[in-house]
Every structure is written in C-alpha cells, then in structure tokens.
Structure 1
Amino acid sequence: MRGAPSRWTVRRCSPTRPGQPSASTLVAVPLGDPSSSKSWRKIKHMVHWSPFVMSFKKKYPWVQLAGHAGSFKAAANGRILKKHCESEQRCLDRLMADVLRPFVPAYHGDVVKDGERYNQMDDLLADFDSPCVMDCKMGIRTYLEEELSKARKKPSLRKDMFQKMVEVDPEAPTEQERAQQAVTKPRYMQWRETISSTATLGFRIEGIKKDDGSVNRDFKKTKTREQVAEAFREFTKGNRNILVAYRDRLKAIRTTLEVSPFFKCHEVIGSSLLFIHDRKDQAKVWMIDFGKTTPLPEGQTLLHDVPWQEGNREDGYLSGLNNLIDILTEMSQGALLA
C-alpha cells in the first residue's frame, strides 16, 4: 500500500466462507498499538462482510430465498453449481430433451469441486441488471405421498414442529398437542399447507428479493388472492410492462406444459417458479428445483389440475399456474404504465 507511514503495517485478509468466491483485501493496521490485535479482528470481520466479498449472495439472491445457501457455488462461464441430487439430475437430463427446455436452467452435467459433487447449470441472472427476484412454490402440496406414509409409520412427537406451529399461529395446536408441547410430523406437514395459499390457490410465495438487496420471506400466512396480488404489486411496483411480461411468460409455460411428455408422466412436488425482472423492464420466469419431482409408474399420467386424494399423486401444478395467470391478468389490466 504505497504511502502508508512506517508506524503502520499491511495485512492481507482472505475471506474463506463456503460458497463465496475467493478474494483478498489489503488493510492497514497500526503497529505497537495495544489494541491492534483487537482492531485487526474487527477490521477483518468488516472486510469479511464487505459488499465485494458478499457479491456472490447479491448475484444469486434466489439462494437466500430458497434457504439453500450452502448448496450453491459460483462457477465459470456464466454458470452456477448446485449440490448434486440424483433425482434432480435425472429430471434435468430429461428436460434437456423435452419441449420444456426453454423454461428451465440449461443443464451442463455434473462436476466435482472441492471434493463435492455438483449439478452444473446456467446462471439465470446473467442478463439482468440489479434484479428483483421472487420464488413461488408450486402445487397444492409440497410433500411427497411417500413422505407422509413414512411419517405415519413412525408418528413420533416433535417438539420442534410444535414450536414452529405456535410461532405462526398460537391457536393452531389442539388441547392434546398443547399438553404434549409437541405434534406429529404428518399433522405438521398437512397443517403447514393450509395456512398459506398452497392448499387454496395451488402455490405460495416463498420469498422476495428487491433491487435494493432487501429480502422478505414472511409470507407464511399469505393466503388470499388479494394478499398475493398485493405482494406482486409491491414486487413489481405496479409496473404494467413487467406484469404483462410475467403473464405472457406464464401462458407460454402453460401451453408448453400441456404438450410436455415429461410433465405428463412426473409428479412435480416442491418445484418453484422463479420470477426475475430488472430496471430495464426485462422480465422472465423459469421452472426450478426438481429434487422432489418423481417419475410415475409406466403407463400412469397426471392431469395436474384436479384435487389431490391420497393415492392419486396429483400435484395441482396447473391449478396453481392458472391462478397465477388469472391474478397477473387482473393486475395488468388495472395497472398503469410505469
């Protein structure tokens, strides 16, 4: 550091948090100062969380929304690495040969990095400037039938799930559950879907990241069409260009889903639609997260828009998509041009 006085020394801080690109920053620390060690620790912490070092999280905000920050790494050539999942790899392989390919991240096979195996896919944010991002979890349930069945076979009482329940709704537990201070996993799984728009609208908002970097994941009780519309209004700032672009993209996805061989023979659970727009009014939607998407037995197909009854494996994906399109259509008709 040219020009630093002799009573200062220069140290290099190299952040090494998992999932962040390597970076080094030079800082000047006073020599002979009894508090220099303490100051260095403080400065090192500040640099560790500097905007430059945090660029990975800023560039990939859906990682924060989905709550899987430890599952992702940055990669070269406009790609990202997602921790390997056998079922997701199988789905992505098949989707690359399906008519849905334009609506999912391009898949480039699996790689090993730092001893971990990852699925390699395109960075969906590469062409956006300071993007706003929304994650919508699709379907009338977000658990597999086999998960429910397994949980029923061993219905142990879960105090952690009881705590999660009362944090959202103190009145939700029954008298017996309150006395036990615990609930079973099947009870929690089914209750969780009823408090949001999952059970009523066939999707729920998981989180929103705005262009100022702020993140909101407080949508557990967003349930009605009006509440969803208000969340979209805040997300898009009522910009009609963006609302129309989202609506049209969803319509294109729906048209493609209706003729997709992949969609017809898969139970799509826990998958999301990722909404992205920026200050230039660019707006796109992609289908992401296929870790719980499972193929059906040979010869079986799903309609994706009829009620779920245990055993029929219906996921309600199209029901949710239709409701999203209806909401955005109504909003775009009433919104003013930005």
Structure 2
Amino acid sequence: MTVTSKMNSVSRQSVLSRLGPGGLLYAANKIIAVASGKDEDRWRGKDEGALFKRWRRTPSSESAPAVPAPATPQSQPSELLKFLAINALELSAPASDALLKSRSSEWFQLSGHPGSLAPAGPGTVWKRRAAGDHPAHNPERDAYEALAACPYMRSAIPRYYRDLEYGGEHFIELQDLLHGFRDPHVMDIKMGTRTFLEDEVSNARARPDLYEKMVRLDPNAPTESEHAARAVTKLRYMQFREQQSSSAEQGFRIEAVKLPGQPPLTDLQKVKEPNQLAATIARFLGDEKHARRAITARLREIRDLFERSEFFRTHEIVGSSIFIIYDDERVGAWLIDFAKTRRVPEDIVVNHRAPWKQGNHEEGFLFGLDRLINIIETAGLSKKDSEPEVTR
C-alpha cells in the first residue's frame, strides 16, 4: 500500500500541501517501515505464488548450515546505483520530494527508454505510457490488468497497482522489483526472435534514411540493388537489426547487466554468438550454484505458467523482457514490458516457438526462453568461452 493508493477522493496536491516538508518526511519514513514488513509477507505468502526464492550464500560447502537471514531485509544504498537514476528522468516528482530523496540512492533504471520510469513510493514505480498510445488505448496497462487477474500469471509479473494521470501524463504503478535487494546482480533480457510489431513494417516503401542507418552499422549489409537504390524497407532494416544481435538466432538478447560494485553494462550488441552469451551469463552467475538453481527453477516455472495461460494463447508478446535479480539472500525473475503486446486475430493460433512469417504473429518468445534456460543451466567460464566486448 502506497501513499497514492490511500488518497481516494482527496487530491494528491491537497494532501501534500497540508502535510508540509516535515510531515512528508515523517509520513515517508513511517510508510517505508510498514511497507518493508508487508513486502516480506508478500514474497513469503503462498496465495500469491513465490515471488522470490530465498537463500543464503555459504562460504565453503553447500551442506554448511545457512546463516539465518534478517526477518526484514534492509536495502543498503550504493553510489553505483545512481547510474541512470532519478536525476536523469524528465519527470516532475511523482511522489513527495522527501520520499524521492530518501529513495534516490536505492533505485536505478538498468535499460530501456530513459525517463520512462520513476519511483513512486516505497516498493513501487511509475511507468510512463508508451509514446503514441491514445489515452483510450494503453496496451501495457491492459496487459498488466489481464495478467494480474490471471491465476497463473499474477506471480510471474511485477505486482500491478493502478493506472493514473499526473501532470497531464499517463502512468501505471507497478512493484519496484529492486526494492529490498542489496547491491544485487541484475540482468535484463529482451525476449523473442522478433521485437517489432507487424504493423510497424507493413509499409513497403524503401527509405533512404534507413539505408543510411544500415550502412553506418555495416557497410556490407545492403544488397547490390539496395546500394543502387540507396534505400531499404522498414522490414528489411528491422530484420537486419535483429540479426545484429542474438535475437534472430537465439530468440533472446542480453540488454544490460549489473554486477555488485560495478556500473551497469549496457553496450552488449556484440554479445551474439552462443559462446559469448554463455560467457556473459557465467560472469553474471559467478560461483553461485544456489542462485543458478533457483533462477533456472523460476524460469521453468514462468515457462509452465506461460504455456497454461489463456492470455498468451491469444496474444503476441513482442519486445517483452525477463528481469532477473539476485543477491546474497534472494533470487527473483519476472516478465516485464508489455507495451507491444497485442491480441492476435481470432483465426490465428500462436505457439510462440514457430518461425515468424508476415501475418502469422509468431514472435519466438518461448523459443528464446527454452534456449535461455539451457544456457543458464550449462554456462561456465572456460577457455573456449570468449569474454564479450562491452563498454561501460
């Protein structure tokens, strides 16, 4: 429960002005204390599914007794987590300034569009509606509402709270997945062999601007006819971009990685070949056998829930991600990002593994998840694995 969810008929600004700076800070601290206890109950609760798997690293043997974990995890702010943080967002404060200040060092946006996320309260974030969406047409909101009501999928996504308008813009409020973790390992993985919508590439007109973009990335990519015309279609360019990463061949690509005590790695386009993917994932996992097993079990659970869900039988899941987090005590993985989720025509059946052809609405989500699970199970640094070329 957040400050905003309690306001009901009383306007947000009215309440904030009555509290004043001192009252805001007091209220924020009180709510943080209450929310942390509720979060503990949430991930332990059986009815909502296991949002987290809890474990404790043992220094020597797997059979060594575990050190009891504290009843209520306390976040430890890190200067490194300010990378891509709140002061880079072009949002007016969605919660009080005092609340934002108290949480600014604990929160960061690993990847995605800068300015799309901002902390809203203890354990929640606001996500801005995708550019171009009409107020009456919000696919991400609709997807979260449907999945939150699905008995299979509600435990596989961040908790959805509400849709709201603030400062003339529209947001959805979601669970802050990083809340409660201590300088964790984080990985954002874009799923699917196709991460663009079919209607985005329906126009067959060849475009000079896309040709120029293609040449800048790879001068040898255009065909002779494309060089002669100095133009390529949107479909040609988008498929070329998918082939530049591991998306086209493996069904997923690693968007960003955050390791404890290090800034995030976000320039991972060259992590394309299977051995490079394995090396990157092995680096992310390190020697944490407990985390590897818990992550694999969680991804298998998500895959099983996905395949049982009526929602996924009737929708294409384009451009969505799997967000994986672990620290010394907890492991979590969730499906996120549904701005490009669309219902397929009634006469279309999708299995999320078949190759995409124009009109069949397949996106390869499960094709990629199968391969991701296999790599996480088997990835280990070896002489044959090459370190990925990345920049920080």
Same fold (TM over 0.5): yes
> CA separation in 1, counterparts of 2:261 and 2:216?
28
What letter matches 1:132 in structure 2? Answer: H
**C-alpha deviation, 1:328, in angstroms:** 1.2
2:239 is the counterpart of 1:190: yes
2:141 is the counterpart of 1:89: yes
What letter matches 1:72 in structure 2? Answer: L
Q: Tell me the percent identity.
A: 37
> CA separation in 1, counterparts of 2:271 and 2:370?
18
> CA separation in 2, counterparts of 1:20 and 1:215?
25
Matching residue within 333, 337, 342 for 1:289: 337
| Contact 2:197-2:340 within 8 A present in 1 as well | yes
> CA separation in 1, counterparts of 2:367 and 2:219?
30
What letter matches 1:73 in structure 2? Answer: A
What letter matches 1:266 in structure 2? Answer: H
- Please list the CA deviations of residues 194-227 of structure 1 after superposition, one character each: whole Å capped at 9, or x if unmatched: 1211111111111112222412222223222211
- Inter-CA distance 212–171: structure 2 relative to 1 (3 Å threshold): farther
> CA separation in 2, counterparts of 1:331 and 1:144?
32
> CA separation in 1, counterparts of 2:378 and 2:104?
36
**Unaligned stretches of 5+ residues in structure 1:** 1-14, 25-51
2:352 is the counterpart of 1:304: yes
Matching residue within 156, 160, 165 for 1:103: 156
1:6 — aligned with what? none
2:208 — aligned with what? 157
- Inter-CA distance 20–277: structure 2 relative to 1 (3 Å threshold): farther
**C-alpha deviation, 1:264, in angstroms:** 0.8
| Contact 1:242-1:281 within 8 A present in 2 as well | no
What letter matches 1:137 in structure 2? Answer: K
Which range moved further: 319-328 or 180-189? 180-189
3-state SS, counterpart of residue 201 of structure 2: helix
- Inter-CA distance 238–148: structure 2 relative to 1 (3 Å threshold): farther
Which range moved further: 107-116 or 195-204? 107-116
2:122 is the counterpart of 1:77: yes
Matching residue within 84, 90, 106 for 1:18: 90
| Contact 2:279-2:380 within 8 A present in 1 as well | no
- The higher radius of gyration belongs to 1
**C-alpha deviation, 1:144, in angstroms:** 1.1
Q: Could you state the TM-score of these two structures normalised by the residue count of structure 1?
A: 0.76
Q: Could you state the TM-score of these two structures normalised by the residue count of structure 2?
A: 0.66
2:165 — aligned with what? 112
What letter matches 2:145 in structure 1? Answer: D
- Please list the CA deviations of residues 163-212 of structure 1 after superposition, one character each: whole Å capped at 9, or x if unmatched: 54344433323455556665432221010111211111111111112222
- Inter-CA distance 240–20: structure 2 relative to 1 (3 Å threshold): farther
1:28 — aligned with what? none
Matching residue within 369, 376, 380 for 1:328: 376
- Please list the CA deviations of residues 17-66 of structure 1 after superposition, one character each: whole Å capped at 9, or x if unmatched: 63485769xxxxxxxxxxxxxxxxxxxxxxxxxxx97964761232xx12
Which range moved further: 179-188 or 292-301? 179-188
What letter matches 1:233 in structure 2? Answer: A
Higher strand share goes to which structure?
A: 1
> CA separation in 2, counterparts of 1:329 and 1:96?
29
